């Protein structure tokens, strides 16, 4: 494959991924509303999973092509990009306030599930049973989030003004038919699979021509490309000062990537990884997650100064990857 064709494939693939993710999120949110799921549950599950759907497709495509480094590198790179690049850029636009509940629950969980990967990947192989374990943990967490959301919804007091606002909001939004929502979800998923495969083909050729290893390709080109939905969602939320959407999307997406994306790729096809993905690259992801959580705990927000530090960390990460490749 020639380089111009590879560049074209990469561009087309990313566009398909972006649009497919948008269709999937729209269909899933409307489907959730039709089924009577609370807005809280939608934010913690549907939005986070919808914007992370490209990571699922890209890692599954990589596993099927027996390129485990791209599959796992995509997870690491996406998690690092979500917190350091996307989180940093959003904080520069507007500091991100973090609720106490997120500090007590979601952020520690994000770090714990990241640490959970170490005993699973330390032998440089992800087996099908290990992938299933990750998926079981993920679905157990989703069940808890749904239960907690419904439980909080029952006990949350509603003032007359709040109820009036909810009624007006429902009147302004005309929900799509149930069948159309289902079709949108199916089209979105199909588009993600196609877009991921196209992106992966183009990215691997470009990276190979540039002398990059499969691990670096997954950690950079594919990871940033599949993080575009998070970037778009969080940037819009930052401009609108919707902090809950920003922080929920970032933390939720990282949990989803670590458990569901890695687990699904391993169940589809067990694969091997190189030592660097169980070593330095893995611990960089853990450190970035830890620093992000500490920043939020100390200031109860991600400030502009924190944003500058996070972006600096991401720039350092890219320099490290390029230096590692050059020295290899």
Q: Total domain count for the chain?
A: 1
User: pTM for the whole thing?
Assistant: 0.76
Spatial separation of the C-alpha atoms in residues 35 and 126, rounded to whole Å:
36
Euclidean distance between the first and the last CA atom of the chain, given in angstroms as a whole number: 25
Spatial separation of the C-alpha atoms in residues 284 and 308, rounded to whole Å:
18
Q: How would you label 132-170 residue by residue, b for 16+ Cβ within 10 Å and e otherwise?
A: ebbbebbeebbeebbeebeeeeeeeeeeeeeeeeeeeee
**Tens place of pLDDT for every residue, the chain, 328 residues?**
788 888 888 888 878 877 877 787 677 667 767 766 654 466 667 767 777 777 788 888 888 888 888 889 889 988 999 999 999 998 998 898 887 777 788 889 999 999 999 999 999 999 999 999 999 999 998 888 777 766 655 545 444 444 444 444 444 455 678 888 888 878 877 887 787 778 778 877 888 888 877 777 777 777 777 777 777 777 777 777 777 767 878 888 899 999 999 999 999 999 899 898 888 899 999 999 999 999 999 988 999 999 999 999 999 998 888 787 655 5
Q: Can you give the pLDDT at residue 169? A: 44
**Full domain range(s) for residue 309:** 3-327
Spatial separation of the C-alpha atoms in residues 295 and 19, rounded to whole Å:
33
CATH number for position 162: 1.20.1420.30
């Amino acid at each position: 494959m020639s380089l111009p064709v590879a560049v074209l494939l990469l561009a087309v693939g990313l566009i398909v991924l972006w649009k497919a993710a948008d269709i999937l999120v729209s269909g899933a949110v409307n489907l959730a509303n039709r089924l009577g799921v609370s807005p809280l549950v939608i934010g913690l599950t549907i939005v986070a999973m919808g914007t992370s759907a490209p990571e699922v497709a890209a890692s599954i495509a990589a596993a099927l092509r027996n390129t485990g480094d791209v599959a796992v590198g995509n997870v690491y790179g996406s998690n690092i990009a979500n917190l350091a690049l996307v989180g940093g850029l959003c904080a520069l636009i507007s500091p991100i306030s973090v609720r106490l509940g997120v500090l007590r629950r979601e952020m520690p969980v994000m770090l714990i599930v990241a640490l959970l990967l170490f005993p699973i990947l330390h032998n440089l192989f992800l087996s099908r049973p290990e992938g299933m374990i990750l998926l079981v943990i993920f679905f157990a967490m989703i069940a808890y989030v749904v239960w907690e959301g419904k439980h909080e919804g029952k006990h949350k007091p509603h003032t007359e003004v709040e109820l009036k606002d909810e009624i007006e909001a429902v009147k302004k939004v005309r929900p799509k038919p149930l069948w159309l929502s289902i079709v949108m979800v199916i089209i979105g998923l199909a588009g993600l699979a196609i877009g991921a495969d196209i992106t992966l083909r183009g990215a691997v050729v470009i990276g190979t021509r540039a002398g990059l290893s499969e691990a670096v390709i997954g950690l950079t080109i594919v990871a940033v490309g599949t993080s575009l939905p998070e970037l778009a969602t969080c940037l819009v939320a930052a401009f609108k000062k919707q902090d809950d959407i920003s922080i929920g999307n970032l933390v939720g997406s990282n949990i989803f990537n670590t458990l569901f994306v890695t687990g699904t790729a391993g169940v589809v096809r067990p694969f091997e990884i190189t030592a660097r993905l169980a070593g330095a690259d893995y611990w960089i992801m853990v450190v970035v997650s830890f620093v992000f959580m500490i920043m939020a705990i100390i200031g109860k927000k991600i400030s502009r100064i924190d944003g500058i530090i996070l972006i600096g960390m991401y720039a350092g990460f890219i320099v490290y990857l390029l230096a590692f490749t050059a020295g290899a």
